[in-house]
Amino acid sequence: MAHLIVITGPSGVGKGTLITLLRERIASVRLSISATTREPRQGERDGVDYHFLADDAFDVLIAEGAFAEHARYAGKQYGTLLTELDERDGAEDVIVLEIELQGARQIRQSMPSALQVFIAPPSFDSLRERLVRRGTDSAQTIDERLAVAREELGAQDEFSEVIVNDNLDNAVEALERLVQGQLRGAID
Ligand code: 5GP
């Protein structure tokens, strides 16, 4: 079975960039493509960035038990399809789930061997700056995301590993070390 790594952290903390850099460093890292009911952002592609679904289609999948975890976030649904986890199962493969707090908690219960990593910002204000600079969300959405972020930051102690993303090079280095450690653990 592949290694599962859950990466959680508030919106705007830089999880996406860190995971992209991690994948450049470790070829066997694959990102699970989540399902969501939110609208695609400019440049996002269905089946690549997310499986974009209508609300009723998402509900059918919940009823069918198709999700490893699912949660509501800022009024939209997000979930990890079990098929994303089945696809590959080599002991040297790593599947990254980039998911929010409630989903991370569900995976902690159902798949306790998954490594749980929380990416924290250097400060709360730096999150707001990043979300505004990114320019992908409306002012109202940014406020909603910051409200959720406060709650998420309060839960970081639940995670076995916390990486503060104050410097991208250091943060990706730390993430790579954790993943290599998991892989070595499987081989030793
Ligand atoms: P965004 O809309 O910015 O792409 O994602 C919003 C939040 O949903 C982020 O915190 C992201 O990590 C989380 N998210 C993305 N996919 C999933 C998923 O499959 N399950 C859960 N629980 N959260 C997800």
Q: Return the higher-pLDDT residue of 115 and 135.
A: 115
Show the domain range for 155: 3-187
The CA distance from 187 to 83, in Å, is 25
Indicate whether residue 34 lines ligand 1 (CB < 6 A): yes
Indicate whether residue 118 lines ligand 1 (CB < 6 A): no
The CA distance from 12 to 185, in Å, is 31
pLDDT of residue 92: 83
Report DSSP state, residue 46. Answer: B
CA nearest ligand 1 atom 17, residue? 99
Query: Closest by alpha carbon to 151, among 109, 104, 113?
Result: 104
The CA distance from 130 to 11, in Å, is 9
CB 125 within 8 A of CB 18: no
DSSP string, 83-141: HHHHS---TT-EEEEE--HHHHHHHHHH-TTSEEEEEE-S-HHHHHHHHHHH--S-HHH
pLDDT of residue 56: 98
Q: Is the pLDDT of residue 119 over 70?
A: yes
Both tokens assigned to 17: 């960039």
Look at residue 30 and give its three-state secondary structure.
strand
CB 119 within 8 A of CB 18: yes
CA nearest ligand 1 atom 10, residue? 100
Measured in Å, residue 98 CA sits from the centre of ligand 1 at 7
Measured in Å, residue 46 CA sits from the centre of ligand 1 at 15
Indicate whether residue 37 lines ligand 1 (CB < 6 A): no
Report DSSP state, residue 11. Answer: T
Number of domains in the chain: 1
Please provide residue 21's backbone torsions phi and psi, each rounded to the nearest 5 degrees: -70, -35
Nearest ligand 1 atom, CA 9: 10
Please compute the mean of the pLDDT values over residues 108-116 and round it to a whole number: 95
The CA distance from 30 to 123, in Å, is 29
CATH number assigned to the domain comprising residue 38: 3.40.50.300
Q: Is the pLDDT of residue 88 over 70?
A: no
pLDDT of residue 68: 97
Please compute the mean of the pLDDT values over residues 140-166 and round it to a whole number: 93
Measured in Å, residue 187 CA sits from the centre of ligand 1 at 31
Over the chain, what is the mean pLDDT?
A: 93
Indicate whether residue 32 lines ligand 1 (CB < 6 A): no
Indicate whether residue 98 lines ligand 1 (CB < 6 A): yes
